[in-house]
């Protein structure tokens, strides 16, 4: 019988990708660097970067690149941003959306537990400025949990994003091991607040391959549907470095397809399920 730890060292063929290159990639990367912005597309070495940029979609990370939390799956730097907020960032990002001729933008951020409002004010300013300068662009706000504070979540929603998402990341049992401060029920509450507000579509995402069972994934689907979540993404967890959680399983293509079928049967409007799926994958279709 094959040793489990040895099998985890070898990625399936469908996970072996070529990193983006070429003039378009370099031109866009230069624009982003010049504007002093952060994109998950580049920093996260997203496998779908070329495809998304080609469709006029990009994912930007606001509020800096230092997170106050230290989740064991995430490669974003962790530490104290010392309360610093770059209030010029919304204007630079709005200019970049225009310069890249983007049709759809996904915004995400580090957690900013060092700020009294968790960064909600800058979140709202970024969405508003992006829409003012680019009235035809659609925006998804992939927000932190803001500790489940309804007034802060509403502040982001009222700024006008078309979709507001918050990732569960994993199943209930594994949440304390995978996420540093976030709690499963607080994340569910966050999604419920988004759905009940009614102005934007509620969306969430989870990773597989961390040791969860199919039954636990289905239980998470049920929990999400019970609070009004309409869009779900399911993707393969990949270990960023040896210091992060190890991959327990490379989920088969057939299992991903089964999850998609089950999700649609449970009433999700959209289910993106596949090994290379990330939160922003095909995001422009979910509006």
Can you give the pLDDT at residue 6? 35
Residue 218, pLDDT > 70, answer yes
Q: Which residues of 129-147 are buried (b: 16+ CB within 10 A; e: fewer)?
A: bbbeebeebbbbbbbbbbb
Name the nearest CA neighbour of 154 among 108, 200, 111, 89: 200
CA 220 to chain centroid, in Å, comes to: 17
Average pLDDT of the chain to the nearest whole number: 87
This prediction has a pTM of 0.88
Cα separation, 20 vs 6, in Å, equals: 29
Phi, psi of 202 (to 5 degrees): -90, 135
Question: For residues 128 and 91, is the Cβ–Cβ distance under 8 A?
Answer: no
Residue 99, pLDDT > 90, answer no
Cα separation, 125 vs 89, in Å, equals: 9
pLDDT band at residue 16 under the 50/70/90 scheme:
low
Can you give the pLDDT at residue 11? 78
- Residues 20-51: tens digit of each pLDDT: 555 555 666 676 677 777 666 554 555 555 55
Neighbours of 23 (CB within 10 A): 7
Cα separation, 260 vs 264, in Å, equals: 6
Cα separation, 106 vs 109, in Å, equals: 10
* Alpha helices, H only, 159-252: 175-178, 184-197, 214-226
Lowest mean pLDDT across 18-22, 112-116, 205-209, 273-277: 18-22
Mean pLDDT of 281-286: 60
Neighbours of 57 (CB within 10 A): 24
User: Which domains does the chain carry?
Assistant: 4-286 (3.20.20.70)
């Amino acid at each position: 019988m094959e040793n489990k730890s040895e099998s985890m060292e070898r990625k399936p063929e469908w996970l072996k990708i070529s990193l983006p290159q070429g003039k378009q990639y370099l031109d866009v990367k230069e624009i982003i660097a010049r504007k002093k912005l952060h994109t998950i597309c580049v920093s996260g070495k997203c496998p779908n970067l070329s495809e998304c940029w080609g469709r006029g979609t990009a994912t930007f990370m606001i509020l800096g690149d230092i997170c106050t939390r230290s989740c064991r799956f995430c490669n974003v730097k962790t530490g104290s941003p010392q309360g610093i907020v770059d209030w010029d960032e919304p204007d630079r990002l709005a200019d970049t959306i225009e310069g890249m001729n983007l049709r759809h933008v996904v915004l995400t951020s580090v957690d900013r537990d060092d700020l009294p409002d968790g960064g909600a004010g800058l979140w709202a300013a970024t969405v508003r400025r992006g829409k003012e300068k680019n009235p035809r662009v659609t925006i998804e706000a992939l927000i932190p949990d803001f500790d489940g504070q309804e007034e802060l979540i509403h502040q982001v929603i009222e700024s006008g994003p078309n979709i507001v998402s918050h990732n569960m990341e994993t199943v209930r049992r594994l949440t304390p091991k995978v996420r540093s401060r976030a709690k499963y029920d607080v994340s569910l509450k966050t999604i419920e607040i988004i759905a009940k507000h009614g102005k934007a579509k509620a969306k969430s995402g989870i990773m597989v391959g961390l040791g969860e069972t199919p039954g636990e994934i289905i239980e998470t689907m049920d929990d999400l549907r019970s609070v009004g979540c309409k869009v779900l993404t399911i993707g393969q967890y990949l270990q960023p470095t040896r210091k992060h959680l190890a991959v327990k399983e490379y989920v088969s293509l057939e299992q991903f397809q089964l999850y998609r079928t089950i999700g649609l049967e449970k009433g999700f409007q959209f289910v993106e399920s596949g090994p290379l799926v990330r939160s922003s994958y095909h995001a422009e279709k979910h509006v």
